[in-house]
Amino acid sequence: RATATPCEPSSLAMLPAGAALALDDNAAAVRLEGPAISVTARRDDLLMRLALDGVRFETLEERDSAALWREVRDAEPVAAEVGQVWRISVAPTEGFAVVERIRRAGVPLLAHFYDWAGGLIWLCVETTSDAYAAVVRAAVDVSGGHATLIRASQETRTIVDVFHPQPAALAALTRRVKESFDPAHILERGRMRAEF
């Protein structure tokens, strides 16, 4: 709702219970930044809108706010888990649908949360040899976006490309740029893409 207001939030995150600041319940975190007078006016407007919608809310003091956004920045709700971690980028309106497709496909999710108003998904899955790459990427492809494998064993990284496969036209362009820039294939061999 905050994105559909003139309150101009600078950041929005959807956090699970137990995540940042030991939340008791799932929460949406809204960050407002700018000159103090502007932040105060926009905060008051947003709080009024939330109250009219019957939404329970709490404002954080600067220290707690900084701690919360540090946890979001560092992806702590998923980093604390022991599984494999994906960073998924999609249109903000597609975030929930992507996670639901992954869940319905039977992937055991250990933790996940949304940043960028739903456009950035941090997802931790149970450890497997392939990190559920085919399922995760198929769910992302439906919405248009990309999934990057952030944390997995070296063995998994030899099986699964870390970066989302590029569409054919973009892959051809990437290959031509790489060929013209590094014709001897001596830079970053195999690091970004297996074919390089």
**Tens digit of pLDDT for each residue in 133-155?**
999 999 999 999 999 999 999 99
The pairing of strands 84-90 and 120-125 is: antiparallel
Q: Does 35 share its domain with 67?
A: yes
Is there a domain that residue 194 lies in?
no
CATH number at residue 83: 3.30.70.260
Buried b (16+ CB within 10 A) or exposed e, 141-180: eeeebebebbbbeeebeeebebebeeeeeeeeeeeeebee
Give this prediction's pTM: 0.84
Q: Does 26 share its domain with 93?
A: no
**Domain carrying residue 67:** 2-73
Q: Does 52 share its domain with 93?
A: no
Confidence of residue 24 (pLDDT cuts 50, 70, 90): low
Q: Does 69 share its domain with 82?
A: no
Helix H, strand E, coil C: the string for the chain is CHHHCCCCCCEEEEECCCCHHHCCCCEEEEECCCCHHHHHHHHHHHHHHHHHCCCCCCCCCHHHHHHHHHHHHCCHHHHCCCCEEEEEEECHHHHHHHHHHHHHCCCCEEEEEEEHHHCEEEEEECCCCCCCHHHHHHHHHHHCEEEEEEECCHHHHHHCCCCCCCCHHHHHHHHHHHHHHCCCCCCCCCCCCCCC
**Tens digit of pLDDT for each residue in 43-69?**
999 999 888 888 888 888 889 989 989
Is there a domain that residue 10 lies in?
yes
Q: Does 52 share its domain with 130?
A: no
pLDDT surpasses 80 at 4: no
Is there a domain that residue 160 lies in?
yes
